[in-house]
Amino acid sequence: MMNSIDGEGARAADSLPDPFVPQLYDAESPAALKRSMSWWLIGMGRLWRNLLDDRLRAAGQTQPRWRALAWARMLPGIRQADLAERMDISRPTLVRLLDSLEEQGLIERRENASDRRANGIYLTSNAEPLVRQIEEEVRSIGDYILQDLSPQEMAQCLDLLRRIRLRVNEISRTTRGFPPPPKQ
């Protein structure tokens, strides 16, 4: 049974939580399921991050700022190059962001003991209240969004996402972001 959001046989707009999934959905077609899954993964990541961004903007935080602080909290001493890669921003853009955070006394750069050319990023004690606020917003949003899922469902979803992430990493390493040609 084929359903479309925009065409004949369209589902009601309220039957899908995100009306911006433009592809056909056919539960019997593996290709259509893959397209749907791709759209949903892209959209959900964007929606979740935007929701968090909206909540933190009220506290004067921008997405790049809270993401940099969150990564510095999760990985104390993260190298600038690694942080730029994880945030998917250019190194010069990250340097400007870190300059701002450092001027505000929220982070400090320390020379990496094993590679003196690299700086590790560390939170300062001044950043702790702000980072706690970020963590509380992440927890609050996650608790609300995931409240209807059982621990088993979340574990299964995490396993599936991990497997998808491994494929994404494989593509990124081998073809610089372009998928290999389909297998015949």
Task: Tell me the pLDDT tens digit for each residue of 30-49.
Answer: 888 888 888 888 888 888 88
Classify residue 74 as exposed, middle or buried by CB count within 10 Å of its CB (0-12, 13-18, 19+).
exposed
Tokens standing for 25? 């959905």
pLDDT beyond 50 at 9: no
Q: Does residue 20 have a pLDDT over 80?
A: no
Q: Is the pLDDT of residue 61 over 50?
A: yes
For 103, counting Cβ atoms within 10 Å of its Cβ (0-12 exposed, 13-18 middle, 19+ buried), the class is: exposed
pLDDT digits (tens, 9 = 90+) for 133-178: 888 988 999 999 999 999 999 999 999 999 998 988 888 776 555 6
Indicate whether 8 pLDDT > 50.
no
Mean pLDDT of all residues in the chain? 82
CA 174, 176, 178 angle in degrees (round to 5)?
95
pLDDT bucket at 15, cuts 50 / 70 / 90? low
Distance (Å, whole) CA 66 – CA 52: 10
Give the pLDDT confidence score for residue 154 in this predicted structure.
Answer: 96
The predicted pLDDT at position 33 comes to: 83
Q: In sequence order, what are the residues at sequence separation of 6 or more whose Cβ sits closer than 8 angstroms to the Cβ of residue 80?
A: 91, 94, 95, 98, 109, 118, 119, 121
pLDDT at position 183? 65
Q: 120 pLDDT exceeds 50?
A: yes
pTM attached to this predicted model: 0.69
Residue ranges of domains in the chain, CATH in brackets:
1-58 (no CATH), 62-126 (1.10.10.10)
Residues counted in the chain: 184
